[in-house]
Each structure stands twice: as C-alpha cells, then as structure tokens.
C-alpha cells in the first residue's frame, strides 16, 4: 500500500488552512496522520493478522477565545473541509476560555528528520509472518514443558503533519516494530507463565526471533514456586521492563495540565525534594532510538530533552502550547495525541533514568538483605491512583531473595507501597537499559515495599 508522503500531507493541510477566514475561523490547525499498520497475533496456532491504511485529521478551530475540535477518519480534502466547518461550529457554541491565548507559532527543529528505517518499510507481510512462525517455533523448541505461546508482532509505518494558520507547516515520518510473547509451561501438574517484549524503531531480526524463546526461559525459571510464608516489608529489585508499572504516576504528575488543574501531587513541589538525592530522571524527546522520538511534537513544536528530577529535586513539568501560554512560557515540545481523534495534551516522551551504578538486575539482587526480585508479569498497576500514589501490584514472575541470593520463585506476590515514597526509597538505579514505550529504563533497587 502506498503511504502518502509528508509533503503531500502538508499540502492537503495548507489547502484547507487557506480557507480559515472563509469558514469563520480566526485560527485553524490541522493535524493529519496516515499509517500503514501490519499486526499479527497468534494464540499458539490460532492466527489473526490484519493490515490497513489508517488516515485521519483532527482540527482545532479558534473563534476569539473559543476553541472547537473535530476529527474524521479521512484525509480527502472535501471531508477535511467539512470537518473544519464542524470545528468552527463547535467553537462558536463554546464558552470563552480565558486561559487560551493562541495556537503555537512556527519553530525550527534542529533535526531534519526523525527515525525512519527504510529496511523495516520494505519488510512484506510474508516476511513478517515467516519471522513470527520462526520465533514461535524457537519458543516451543526451548523445552517440551512449553505448552502455549501467545505471540504478537506489529509493524507501523506512518507520517503525520501539523499545519496551522500562524505558519506552522511541519511533520515527521516514522517506523516502529513491536513484538511480545507470553508463554505458558507445564511440568508435573504445575503451570507457570511469563512474557517478554521487544520494541524498536528499526528492523532487527535477531531480537524478533528470540522473543518467544526468552519468554520461555523466564517461564521455566518459575517451576517450584512457593507462596510467601509471611508478609513482610523489605527491598525489591524491579527489572527494567516492569519499572513503568510502578513509576507511571510520574507521567501523570509532571503533566502541566494536571498541575494547573491542581490534580497533581507535584503541584507546589517545584524545586523541592521529591526523590532520593541520587535520582535523576529526564524526559528526552530527542533520544536517538526512543520509541517516542519525533522531530516535532504533535503541535509542530520541536521535541526537547529536559531534566524532570535532578538529584532528587523536581525541576520542571511538561507543557504543550496551551498549558505553556497559560503560564506565559514556551511549550517544552510535549504535545502528544493518542491519535488524530484527540486534542493535543501534555505528555512525557521518553523517560530516561540516569544510572547510579554500573549494575544490572543480577548485581542489584546481590545488594538485597531481604526482599523480592520482581522480574516481569505484573497485574494491577493500572489500578494505582496516580494522585494518591497508592499501589498494589501483583507479580507472577517474582523471586524471594535473602542475603543477595535468590532463594526460590514465588507463585504470586503483591508489592504494596506509595509512588511518592517509592521515589524517595530508590536506593540504586542500574545501567541495564531497556527501551519501552515508557522510555529508556534500567532495573532499580528500592526499599520499604510491603509484600504479601
């Protein structure tokens, strides 16, 4: 399928933006996106594969201090114009928003082009289905105990553009590939399960081929699991790819919108200590391999690298243009949209935790006196109320650790605590970085987690 290119997309947008005054808009912004998605899911040998060309627009129309938004799943000029008229209609019925200043002005990005891998683009459905088959086979080959593999492979090639009546006319093309496998193994009546993920902006064959096998290795380690004998409070090593299950309230609390609306636990906490003084956390929209890296954000503002928490001190929030202008400052290039169907809103891009020691999960485990190594498969993390911060996360891939040694796998353990306390109780940030949609995150050693 032919994906429309960036210049064409910008041109379509310009044609409609030119008509802003004609349709009664003081300002007009058109976000256009188009993507070719290939996705396959195999529950062992029950296979569902789909491919399609998704395209759409999201339009902000400004009439005085009234802002309207409308979207449609089409990029035909006629439908875009009709959608723009709808956005104007919606704007006119809205009350004035005194906090709205204007749409963003153009700003030149430093990078010319984002992450676009020609090799990934050329991979056909046939080739991807072949990789999936091989990966699943390698998972089963690992051990006869492996009974089920649930496998997913998704490739996306896309382009988006932002065109507004203040002169923004920019966008980016991107490629991503994502795969996960969940494995169930059985031995002597005991069932264990584990999963593994891999995501990248470029085509990398070997990691795609080994996803199921790595998940199988993780599952096999779980045999002979016991229940925790007694509830206790102790240390935990959280493995890199599940750190986000504990730290995701960070993205909520640094969101300038949540801060301004006073529903962030970080409101009034700027330049105060919110984490252990050795902890430094960045939001880096320019990370060269980042899954959330684009030359510009979804309002057309260049993405940036910024320090959210420096040596434990909260340094900044993340802004889109609306929240930035409300405070008389500049956008930090953090306007994101879930899709063309949504208005831009502040969001973190790639969260990067600075390493405190040259250690991976295995070395961090050696630092534990009494605690648990949380090595994957969690449940309940999305139940955390990000404002209150209370969490209760159950892991099925955890191990009981004493005096630096893994003693035995745990059938299921629930780690309880509070996000704000967790930030203060981070003892060591490791260096075994892993790329996920949350960012680039190493394993961490934390204290004062309650286990049941």
Q: Which one among 165, 173, 176, 193 touches another protein, defined by CB under 8 A?
A: 193
Stretch that binds another protein, among 5-13, 90-98, 208-216, 400-408 (CB under 8 A): 90-98
Stretch that binds another protein, among 114-122, 198-206, 247-255, 409-417 (CB under 8 A): 409-417
How many whole angstroms separate alpha carbon 242 and alpha carbon 236? 12
Residues 157/3, Cβ–Cβ less than 8 Å: yes
Q: Which one among 7, 22, 51, 167 touches another protein, defined by CB under 8 A?
A: 51
- Per DSSP, the residues of 93-126 read HSPP-TT---PPPP---SSS-----HHHHH--HH
Give me the least distance between CB of 321 and another protein, in Å please: 14
Stretch that binds another protein, among 71-79, 199-207, 324-332, 399-407 (CB under 8 A): 71-79
Told to check if 113 binds another protein by CB under 8 A, we report no
How many whole angstroms separate alpha carbon 171 and alpha carbon 3? 15
Q: How many CA atoms lie within 13 A of 90 on its CB side?
A: 15
Q: Which one among 12, 20, 132, 413 touches another protein, defined by CB under 8 A?
A: 132
Q: Which one among 31, 69, 252, 294 touches another protein, defined by CB under 8 A?
A: 69
Told to check if 56 binds another protein by CB under 8 A, we report yes
Tally the residues of the chain.
452
Q: What sign results for the dihedral spanned by CA atoms 356, 362, 364, 366?
A: negative
Tokens of 151: 């496998």
Q: Which of 96, 121, 105 is nearest to 29 (CA)?
A: 105
User: Helix axis angle, 125-141 relative to 205-220, nearest 10°?
Assistant: 30
Told to check if 418 binds another protein by CB under 8 A, we report yes
Told to check if 145 binds another protein by CB under 8 A, we report no
Told to check if 390 binds another protein by CB under 8 A, we report yes
How many whole angstroms separate alpha carbon 266 and alpha carbon 258? 9
Give me the least distance between CB of 208 and another protein, in Å please: 15
Question: In the window 294-333, what residues touch another protein (CB under 8 A)?
Answer: none
Residues 395/429, Cβ–Cβ less than 8 Å: no
* Greatest CA separation for the chain: 74
Q: List Cα–Cα distances, 371 to 199, 267, 316, in angstroms.
A: 30, 33, 33
Give me the least distance between CB of 378 and another protein, in Å please: 9
Stretch that binds another protein, among 222-230, 309-317, 408-416, 423-431 (CB under 8 A): 408-416
Question: In the window 207-236, what residues touch another protein (CB under 8 A)?
Answer: 231
Told to check if 49 binds another protein by CB under 8 A, we report yes
Told to check if 55 binds another protein by CB under 8 A, we report yes
**Helices H / strands E in the chain, number of each:** 11, 23
Please count the other Cβ atoms lying within 10 Å of the Cβ belonging to residue 288: 9
Stretch that binds another protein, among 109-117, 286-294, 382-390, 432-440 (CB under 8 A): 382-390
Stretch that binds another protein, among 62-70, 155-163, 166-174, 311-319 (CB under 8 A): 62-70
How many whole angstroms separate alpha carbon 251 and alpha carbon 308? 10
Q: Which of 224, 234, 230, 229 is nearest to 408 (CA)?
A: 224
Told to check if 74 binds another protein by CB under 8 A, we report yes
Give me the least distance between CB of 117 and another protein, in Å please: 22
Told to check if 343 binds another protein by CB under 8 A, we report yes
Pairing of strands 232-238, 370-374: parallel
Q: Which one among 382, 404, 405, 407 touches another protein, defined by CB under 8 A?
A: 382
Q: List Cα–Cα distances, 82 to 4, 27, 76, 91, 243, in angstroms.
A: 21, 16, 10, 14, 45
Q: Which one among 87, 115, 211, 318 touches another protein, defined by CB under 8 A?
A: 87
Per rule CB under 8 A, count of chain residues that contact another protein: 72
Told to check if 270 binds another protein by CB under 8 A, we report no
Told to check if 156 binds another protein by CB under 8 A, we report no
Q: Which one among 11, 307, 392, 437 touches another protein, defined by CB under 8 A?
A: 392
Q: Which one among 13, 68, 104, 312 touches another protein, defined by CB under 8 A?
A: 68
Told to check if 24 binds another protein by CB under 8 A, we report no
3-state DSSP assignment of residue 400 = strand
Q: 94: which residues sit within 8 A by CB, 6+ positions away?
A: 66, 67, 68
Nearer to another protein, 310 or 341 (CB): 341
Pairing of strands 232-238, 444-451: antiparallel
Nearer to another protein, 40 or 428 (CB): 40
Stretch that binds another protein, among 102-110, 217-225, 325-333, 341-349 (CB under 8 A): 341-349
How many whole angstroms separate alpha carbon 90 and alpha carbon 70? 8
Give me the least distance between CB of 448 and another protein, in Å please: 12
Nearer to another protein, 143 or 339 (CB): 339
């Amino acid at each position: 399928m032919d994906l429309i290119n960036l210049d064409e997309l910008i041109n379509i947008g310009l044609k409609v933006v030119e008509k802003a005054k004609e349709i009664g808009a003081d300002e007009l912004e058109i976000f256009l996106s188009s993507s070719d998605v290939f996705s396959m899911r195999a529950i062992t040998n029950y296979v569902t594969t789909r491919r399609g060309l998704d395209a759409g627009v999201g339009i902000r129309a400004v009439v005085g201090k009234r802002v309207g938004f409308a979207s449609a799943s089409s990029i035909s000029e006629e439908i875009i114009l009709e959608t723009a008229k709808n956005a104007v209609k919606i704007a006119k019925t809205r009350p004035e928003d005194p906090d709205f200043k204007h749409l963003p002005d153009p700003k030149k990005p430093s990078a010319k082009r984002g992450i676009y891998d020609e090799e990934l683009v050329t991979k056909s459905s046939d080739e991807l289905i072949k990789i999936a088959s091989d990966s699943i086979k390698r998972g089963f080959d690992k051990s006869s105990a492996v009974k089920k593999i649930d496998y997913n492979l998704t490739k996306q090639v896309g382009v988006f553009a932002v065109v507004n009546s203040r002169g923004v006319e920019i966008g980016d093309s991107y490629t991503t590939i994502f795969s996960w496998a969940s494995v169930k193994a059985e031995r002597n009546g005991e069932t264990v399960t584990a999963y593994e993920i891999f995501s990248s902006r470029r085509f990398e064959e070997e990691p795609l081929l080994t996803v199921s096998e790595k998940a199988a290795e993780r599952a096999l380690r779980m045999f002979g699991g016991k229940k925790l004998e007694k509830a206790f409070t102790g240390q935990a090593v959280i493995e890199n790819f599940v750190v986000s299950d504990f730290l995701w309230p960070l993205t909520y609390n640094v969101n300038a919108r949540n801060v301004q609306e006073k529903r962030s636990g970080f409101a009034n906490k700027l330049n105060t200590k919110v984490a252990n003084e050795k902890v430094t956390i960045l939001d880096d929209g320019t990370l060269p391999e980042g899954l959330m890296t684009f030359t510009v954000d979804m309002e057309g503002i260049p993405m940036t690298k910024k320090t959210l928490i420096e040596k434990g001190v909260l340094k900044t929030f993340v802004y889109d243009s609306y929240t930035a202008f409300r405070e008389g400052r500049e956008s930090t290039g953090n306007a994101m949209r879930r899709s063309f169907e949504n208005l831009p809103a502040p969001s973190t891009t790639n969260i990067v935790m600075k390493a405190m020691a040259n250690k991976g999960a295995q070395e961090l485990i050696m630092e534990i006196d009494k605690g648990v190594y949380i090595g994957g498969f969690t449940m309940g993390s999305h139940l955390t109320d990000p404002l209150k911060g209370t969490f209760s996360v159950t892991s099925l891939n955890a191990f009981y650790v004493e005096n630096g040694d893994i003693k035995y796998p745990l059938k299921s353990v629930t780690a309880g605590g509070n996000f704000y306390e967790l930030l203060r109780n981070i003892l060591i940030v490791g260096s075994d970085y892993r790329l996920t949609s949350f960012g680039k995150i190493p394993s961490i050693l934390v204290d004062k987690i309650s286990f049941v």
